[in-house]
Amino acid sequence: MKAFQFPQQTAFYSGKVRDVYTIADKWLVMIASNRISAFDVILPHPIPFKGQVLNQIAAFMLQATSDICPNWLINTPAANVSIGKKCTPYKVEMVIRGNLTGHAWRTYQSGNRILCGVVMPEGMKENDFFETPIITPTTKASEGHDEDISREEIIKQQIVDEADYTVLEQYTRALFERGKQIAAKQDLILVDTKYEFGKIGDTIYLMDEIHTPDSSRYFYAEGYQERQAEGERQKQLSKEFVREWLIANNFMGKDGQTVPEMSEEWIATISNRYIELYEKVIGEKFVPQSLTDEEIYTSVTSALAKL
């Protein structure tokens, strides 16, 4: 996907998986690419329809949570494009975990019972529910790896002031609860996710994508208890299967490690898993759309002209 030049464009940023255009220092055009990243590294092959999946799930979820807090989204003029308000972002990501999975489990398994200043109880098994979801924020790195950080350090280092951070925590818990309710209707468990927030004036906005397979992890609810009792792996819908494949092939984004070769079959498998998650979460059939650069440009410029 090429870089565009839109009317009144004042900045351009190509992220790990999305290209972001600033318009008149007031709006953002966010184009979700088919790039895929893991361990903060962009993998060498794009995943067909991944950008559309992420963009359409995010739009659905932002609409479904708009009563909880304001969000940045104005419209989605194309399948893989969102246009919204330009906020000043907080330099933290609000990660919330309902289950002991992924990074939290790897931390726990190492013997450490404290994650981002939060004490995790003894005697837990992988994928068990926490009694109450825990918030484990990370710094938002422009380059390299995001780093775990505690609430206390965020406030002490004045990354976010205490009053605003308290609001971010409240929004995070309410959004996660709504996300779990939406997932439960589809016989899924929203296991963990992350939210990004920003500010315009005195108003805090939810930004970016939410409850997508890139930012979240889902378990199938059916059979969850039985699998836990038997010590079996949980059946899940998330990007974690990509991370697990990379780990199994000796890659975790560390210096000197090489990304393993991705076969066409494996790329198709990843694409199908993303589509499966869309259909499972949204409850509707996925309709793939292959847009040309010209079609994307036309849809964006038409939408911008109406702002």
Is the domain 9-87+263-305 a CATH 3.30.200.20 member? yes
pTM of the full structure: 0.90
pLDDT, tens only, 30-49 = 999 999 988 888 898 999 99
Torsion angle, CA of 249/189/132/247, rounded to 10 degrees? 0
CATH of segment(s) 89-238: 3.30.470.20
pLDDT, tens only, 251-303 = 998 888 999 999 999 999 999 989 988 999 999 999 999 899 999 999 999 99
User: Among candidates 6, 17, 29, which has minimal Cα distance to 75?
Assistant: 29
Which region among 35-49, 53-67, 161-175, 195-209 has the lowest average model confidence (pLDDT)? 35-49
Residues of the chain with CATH 3.30.200.20: 9-87+263-305
Mean pLDDT confidence for 219-238: 93
Mean pLDDT confidence for 144-158: 90
pLDDT category, 143, cuts 50, 70, 90?
low
Report the percent of the chain where pLDDT is more than 70: 98
Residues of the chain with CATH 3.30.470.20: 89-238
- pLDDT given at position 240: 78
pLDDT category, 197, cuts 50, 70, 90?
very high
Whole-number mean pLDDT of the chain? 94
Per-residue pLDDT at 142 exceeds 70:
no
What is the gyration radius of the CA atoms in the chain, in angstroms? Answer: 19
User: Among candidates 212, 225, 263, which has minimal Cα distance to 44?
Assistant: 263
Q: In whole angstroms, what is the distance from residue 196 CA to residue 149 CA?
A: 15
User: Which residue is associated with the tokens 């299967």?
Assistant: 241
Per-residue pLDDT at 144 exceeds 60:
no
